[in-house]
């Protein structure tokens, strides 16, 4: 039986992203990796509710020559060690590459679902950019947008908006509790 999943963007959702040039950049090394407040608790609550947790992250700085794949993988490995993650999927392409894995395309979500038998119909994605929400909807998932100055919320139609991962997790847990109660009453 497929398992329920919450997909998570990485930079700006789980860890601090650094403002730079009108947008943000990821941490460049494990030394720069800083989990955001509330992340460990929110993920523990989602895991306790039975969700698998899978990171899906665009890392175009590798294609742009600003970051190494080894540095990205070291950061991802550190996150796997510190957080209750089932897996981490990373796209190392840039927009002009036109790959199917780079969000807003749903490729990473579809690959994760195939690899781990995940239920996309009951899935959620928590992201901080319009492209996260578009990818979620393309894969059949609900999308929760964490509002930041760089979200470009006008380019998407999130199912919910939250200030941070705590608010996103609260909404997901309330949504499944309401659905469970409705099924029980039926």
Element (H, E) at 38: none
The one catalytic residue among 11, 128, 132, 164 = 11
Q: What angle do CA 83, 45, 141 make, to 5 degrees?
A: 85
Beta-sheet pairing, 18-20 with 23-25: antiparallel
Q: How far apart are the first and last CA of the chain?
A: 23
The one catalytic residue among 9, 128, 132, 164 = 9
> Catalytic site residue 87?
no
| C-alpha to C-alpha distance for 141 and 124, rounded to whole angstroms | 5
> Catalytic site residue 132?
no
Residues serving a catalytic function are 9, 11
């Amino acid at each position: 039986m497929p398992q329920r999943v919450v997909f998570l963007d990485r930079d700006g959702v789980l860890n601090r992203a650094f403002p730079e040039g009108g947008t943000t950049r990821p941490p460049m090394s494990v030394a720069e990796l800083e989990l955001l407040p509330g992340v460990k608790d929110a993920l523990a609550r989602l895991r306790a509710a039975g969700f698998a947790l899978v990171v899906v992250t665009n890392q175009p700085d590798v294609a742009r020559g600003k970051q190494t794949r080894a540095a990205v993988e070291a950061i991802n490995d550190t996150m796997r060690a510190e957080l209750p993650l089932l897996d981490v999927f990373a796209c190392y392409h840039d927009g002009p590459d036109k790959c199917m894995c780079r969000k807003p395309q749903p490729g990473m979500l579809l690959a994760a679902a195939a690899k781990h038998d995940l239920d996309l119909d009951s899935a959620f994605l928590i992201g901080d950019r319009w492209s996260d929400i578009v990818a979620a909807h393309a894969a059949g998932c609900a999308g929760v947008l964490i509002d930041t100055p760089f979200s470009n919320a006008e380019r998407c139609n999130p199912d919910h908006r939250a200030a941070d991962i705590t608010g996103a997790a609260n909404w997901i847990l309330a949504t499944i509790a309401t659905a469970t109660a409705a099924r029980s009453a039926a």
